[in-house]
Amino acid sequence: MATVKVFSELMLMGLNPFSTNNLKTVFRGRIRNSPDYKDWKKAVASLLPAHFLPDNLEGFSLGFEMGVIRNFDIDNTLKGIIDCLEEKYGFNDCQIGHLIAHKTVVKLNEGEKPFVRIYLMEKIDLDFSERTLVESAFKNGISVANSISSDVAKRRQGK
């Protein structure tokens, strides 16, 4: 397994990521940030230390570990956090070329708290020149959904 150098790490304990589903609201026919989202962004900004991230992310990768409940979609957590980081540190999110996200399920009923852990890492160089199963399947005209479904069905039957 390859390793990636981590330059800095930040843990925001007790921070419940804001879902993309709740970021925007319609007011007088215009789409705006919801009042709850504005309040959440202010709270997050107050937790972020100065100079944690550079103002230019080219040449770096970002990593996120989201401690959320099981039913929370990890992709819905990223937009709000990235927007807060972008506003605080002055980079443009179009500079993010590589992103790693990991969901850790927290059990609130057992006293565990939600969290967000953010990593600034060295740029991850991925070689996309190798053909993957999905690329090969599309190239050969095979339905990926069908081939995956039959593979799953075979595993369930113990074949």
Mean pLDDT of 27-53: 86
Mean pLDDT of 98-110: 91
Q: Which residue has the higher pLDDT, 107 or 149?
A: 107
Tokens of 93: 């999110």
Residue 85 has pLDDT above 50, yes or no: yes
Q: What pLDDT does residue 43 have?
A: 87
Mean pLDDT of 69-98: 90
Share the mean pLDDT of the chain. Answer: 79
- Name the CATH superfamily housing domain 6-124: Holliday junction resolvase RusA (3.30.1330.70)
Residue 138 has pLDDT above 60, yes or no: no
Mean pLDDT of 54-77: 90
**CA-wise closest residue to 57 among 3, 134, 121:** 121
Cα 74–chain centre separation: 6
Cα–Cα distance, 77 to 61 (Å, whole number): 18
What does the domain layout of the chain look like in residue ranges? Answer: 6-124, 127-159
| Whole-model pTM over 0.95 | no
Cα–Cα distance, 34 to 140 (Å, whole number): 46
Residue 149 has pLDDT above 50, yes or no: no
pLDDT band of 157, cuts 50, 70, 90: low
